[in-house]
Copies of this chain bind each other. A is one copy, B any other.
Amino acid sequence: MSRLDELNKILRKLQSDSPGLEASALISEDGLMIASALTPDLEETRVAGMTATLLNLGARAAVELARGEVKEVIIRGDRGYAVMIDAGRGALLLALANETAKLGLIFFDMHEAIRSLKKVL
């Protein structure tokens, strides 16, 4: 199995394990897609760019607001959550969940996925 296959397998496992988790992606800090399991309504390039922009602004905000080095950015909308977590090695993991998902469980499963992703990256 190629590295990309392994990364995709970890993302698909994350989605099947977490109720309400609709899409996930591994994105480089500079806004390029590494691996993804997105729904057809989402456009890869825009998702990757927007996610990296948000994490970069989050990093500046964390410093400005004296919260140290950014680890996670979470957006909650009325149709669910977007959760971005620093995955190390210049990569970040994005997960999109619907409004029925439990934020605590999403974190738990994402951190487990990150441990698996780090072994492959």
Contact = CB atoms under 8 A, between A and B. Distances in A.
A113 interface: no
Interface residues of A, number: 35
A65 interface: yes
A78 to B, nearest CB: 4
A49 to B, nearest CB: 9
- The complex is assembled from copies of this chain, and their number is 2
Interface of A: 39, 41-42, 46-47, 50-51, 53-54, 57-58, 60-62, 64-82, 96, 104
Centre residue among A57, A58, A66, A69 by max chain B CB count within 10 A:
A66
Contacts of A71: 76-78
A70 B65 contact: no
